[in-house]
């Protein structure tokens, strides 16, 4: 059976065509080097080198065997390098689920920071609603998820990645667009583009809670799922809407965004989640190095505001 040490000895002698230089290159003496070559020749049942007291030459078999031996050593070196990179969280593939709204601002910043820190890691991105992300996390189809709360499943771990305020979106021609900011009471009776209570449950409940606390009842005309669709109707002048601040990045023409003055903050939250069994039970932190690095980057972004 071929031995890597035998291959390394043969390649060194074949490239140097000198036992003394090959031994120095391998940091060994000549007698064991010669023995390794002899063992290799017995294993493959072919003479690889013609050697005299004055010269070393490759036989026809040796010339044929050299590129294959070099390729085997190269592949072994690459495999070991990849294994070390993956073990150290510097290479591999990380499958990340995300909600559509997170792609307006947070996700691009996260991806840029992750690629700068770990350029050899492939980040596989999958857009999904929160419910689908939880299902895929539990089934192992994705490694981590950027999703909306609550993340209450006992088999999942989550850290808050983002908390951003809701802002009012209104047509630029609307009288309220001339104000620097708005209070919920300013929206009383206004035509409103709201979130669907089933497919956009998180934002529906967030907006409903905000209005209930302020004792305001907007006049709901439409209920949609996607924020960009809601903004399209705002642009058409059909009504007002509440959207996360990052939606301003979509830069809809003829749509004004105004901050809301609230008695109590009601931010739109985003969480990074992964399976609990990916944690080290001793430290309760991610045992998977790629998840650990991503969580650290998210923590740094959260601390930086």
- Residues 71, 27 share a domain: yes
- The range of the structural domain enclosing residue 110 comes to 92-163+268-304
The pLDDT confidence band at residue 194, using thresholds 50, 70 and 90, is: very high
- Residues 254, 174 share a domain: yes
**Do residues 99 and 228 make contact, with C-beta atoms less than 8 angstroms apart?**
no
pLDDT at 120: 84
- Residues 188, 149 share a domain: no
pLDDT at 305: 65
* CATH number reported for the structural domain that contains residue 224 in this entry: 3.40.190.10
Compute the mean pLDDT over every residue in the chain, rounded to the nearest whole number.
90
The closest of 192, 213, 194 to 204, measured between CA atoms, is 194
The closest of 291, 281, 229, 273 to 255, measured between CA atoms, is 229
**For tokens 């004055």, what's the residue?**
54
The pLDDT confidence band at residue 39, using thresholds 50, 70 and 90, is: confident
**Mean pLDDT to the nearest integer, 10-14:** 86
**Partners of residue 147 on adjacent β-strands:** 271
- Residues 229, 189 share a domain: yes
**Domain boundary residue, one of 71, 87, 103:** 87
pLDDT at 71: 86
pLDDT at 161: 96
What percentage of the chain carries pLDDT values higher than 90? Answer: 58
- Looking at per-residue confidence, does 86 or 219 come out higher? 219
Asked whether the predicted pLDDT for residue 90 surpasses 60, the reply is: no
Token pair for 83: 């294994």
- Residues 174, 33 share a domain: no
**Domain boundary residue, one of 87, 106, 131:** 87
Distance of CA 273 to the CA centre of its chain: 12
pLDDT at 185: 94
* CATH number reported for the structural domain that contains residue 51 in this entry: 1.10.10.10
Whole-number Å distance between alpha carbons of 273 and 96? 10
Domain count of the fold of the chain: 3
The closest of 58, 45, 46, 47 to 18, measured between CA atoms, is 58
- Residues 82, 116 share a domain: no
- Residues 191, 43 share a domain: no
Whole-number Å distance between alpha carbons of 266 and 77? 54
Lowest mean pLDDT among 38-42, 44-48, 259-263, 281-285: 281-285
**Domain boundary residue, one of 67, 87, 107:** 87
**Do residues 100 and 195 make contact, with C-beta atoms less than 8 angstroms apart?**
no
- Residues 102, 172 share a domain: no
Whole-number Å distance between alpha carbons of 181 and 12? 75
**Partners of residue 280 on adjacent β-strands:** 285
- Residues 252, 177 share a domain: yes
46-64 residues labelled b (16+ CB within 10 A) or e (exposed): eebbeeeeeebebeeebee
- Report pLDDT digits (tens) over 132-183: 999 999 999 999 999 999 998 999 999 999 999 999 999 999 999 999 999 9
- Residues 159, 273 share a domain: yes
The answer to whether the Cα torsion of 188, 191, 197, 200 is positive or negative is: negative
Task: Give the global pTM.
Answer: 0.71
- Residues 251, 185 share a domain: yes
- Residues 232, 109 share a domain: no
Whole-number Å distance between alpha carbons of 223 and 243? 13
Whole-number Å distance between alpha carbons of 244 and 149? 15
61-64: long-range contacts at Cβ-Cβ below 8 A with a sequence spacing of 24 or more? 62/10, 62/14
């Amino acid at each position: 059976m071929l031995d890597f040490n035998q291959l390394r000895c043969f390649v060194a002698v074949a490239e140097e065509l000198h036992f003394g230089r090959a031994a120095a290159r391998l940091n060994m003496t000549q007698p064991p080097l010669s023995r390794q070559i002899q063992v290799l020749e017995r294993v493959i049942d072919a003479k690889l080198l013609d050697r005299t007291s004055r010269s070393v030459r490759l036989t026809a078999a040796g010339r044929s065997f050299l590129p294959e031996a070099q390729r085997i050593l190269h592949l072994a070196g690459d495999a070991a390098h990849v294994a070390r990179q993956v073990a150290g969280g510097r290479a591999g593939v990380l499958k990340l689920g995300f909600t559509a709204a997170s792609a307006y601002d947070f996700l691009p910043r996260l991806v840029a920071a992750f690629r700068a820190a770990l350029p050899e890691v492939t980040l596989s991105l999958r857009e999904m609603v929160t419910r689908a992300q939880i299902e895929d996390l539990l089934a192992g189809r994705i490694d981590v998820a950027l999703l909306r709360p609550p993340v209450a499943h006992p088999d999942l771990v989550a850290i808050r990645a983002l908390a951003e305020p809701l802002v009012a979106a209104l047509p630029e021609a609307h009288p309220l667009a001339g104000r620097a900011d708005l209070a919920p009471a300013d929206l009383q009776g206004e035509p409103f583009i709201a979130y669907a209570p089933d497919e956009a449950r998180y934002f529906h409940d967030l907006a409903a809670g905000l209005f209930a606390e302020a004792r305001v009842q907007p006049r709901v005309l439409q209920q949609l799922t996607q924020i960009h669709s809601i903004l399209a109707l705002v642009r058409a002048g059909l009504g007002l809407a509440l959207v996360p601040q990052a939606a301003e990045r979509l830069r809809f023409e003829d749509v004004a965004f105004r901050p809301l003055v609230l008695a109590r903050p009601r931010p739109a939250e985003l969480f990074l989640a992964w399976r609990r069994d990916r944690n080290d039970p001793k430290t309760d932190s991610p045992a998977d190095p790629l998840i650990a690095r991503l969580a650290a980057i998210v923590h740094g972004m959260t601390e930086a505001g």
